[in-house]
Amino acid sequence: MRIGQGIDIHAFGPGDHVVVGGVRIAHARGVVAHSDGDVAIHALCDAILGALALGDIGRHFPPSDERWRGANSRIFLRRCAELMRERGFTLGNADVSIVCEAPKIAPHADAVRANLAADLGCTVDQVGIKATTSEKLGFSGRGEGIAAFAVVLLVARHSGESRNPALARDS
Ligand code: MG
């Protein structure tokens, strides 16, 4: 098994919505970003890449690359899932926490889970989404931006004989 963690933060700027987990959520501000600024997906991508020891999202999708201007971040997540499978791993579970004072994420959590599970090629019960404020403290508390934290567990797909008995028992 491999574990990975990822963090992403974006500042709020001009605009009328934010994109979180591929869901467009109305907000008095937008996010300052080269891509669509989807913090949930960026944190999740970094967690997967971290578990695979493949560097970070900036290395795979550089902000200097014009291809990614305004890009739908779900493209990044699908590529990270592909890298995971290419290296012989499958997703055990992913857990993502979103931190912001506004907008409210909870009403969109099921839609976010559905998007992430579709891109990861797993079931929704393998993807957890949580949202919190920072009690008006710090940059998120002042409404200056949004942050996301993600952890993933990747499980190696073993062939018959080399299979870990502890994993085989559950499948
Ligand atoms: Mg980002």
pLDDT class of 162 with cuts at 50, 70, 90: very low
C-alpha–C-alpha distance, residues 22 and 78, integer Å? 12
Distance from residue 91's CA to the centre of ligand 1 (Å): 22
Distance from residue 144's CA to the centre of ligand 1 (Å): 15
Return mean pLDDT, the chain.
93
Query: What is the number of residues in the chain?
Result: 171
For residue 13, give both structure tokens: 């700027």
Q: Collect residues with CB below 5 Å from ion ligand 1.
A: 8, 42
Distance from residue 124's CA to the centre of ligand 1 (Å): 23
Angle at the Cα of 60 (from 37 to 35), degrees rounded to 5? 20
Distance from residue 10's CA to the centre of ligand 1 (Å): 6
Predicted confidence at residue 167, as pLDDT, reads 52
Calculate the CA 11 to chain-centre distance.
17
Share of the chain above pLDDT 70, in %: 92
C-alpha–C-alpha distance, residues 116 and 83, integer Å? 16
Q: How far from each other are the two terminal CA atoms of the chain, in whole angstroms? A: 15
Q: How many CA atoms lie within 13 A of 128 on its CB side?
A: 13
Distance from residue 51's CA to the centre of ligand 1 (Å): 18
Dump pLDDT digits (tens) for 52-73: 999 999 999 998 888 888 899 9
> What residue ranges define each of the domains in the chain, with the CATH number in brackets?
2-170 (3.30.1330.50)
Dump pLDDT digits (tens) for 83-130: 999 999 999 999 999 999 999 999 999 999 999 999 999 999 999 999
Distance from residue 145's CA to the centre of ligand 1 (Å): 12
Q: Kindly report the pTM of this predicted structure.
A: 0.91
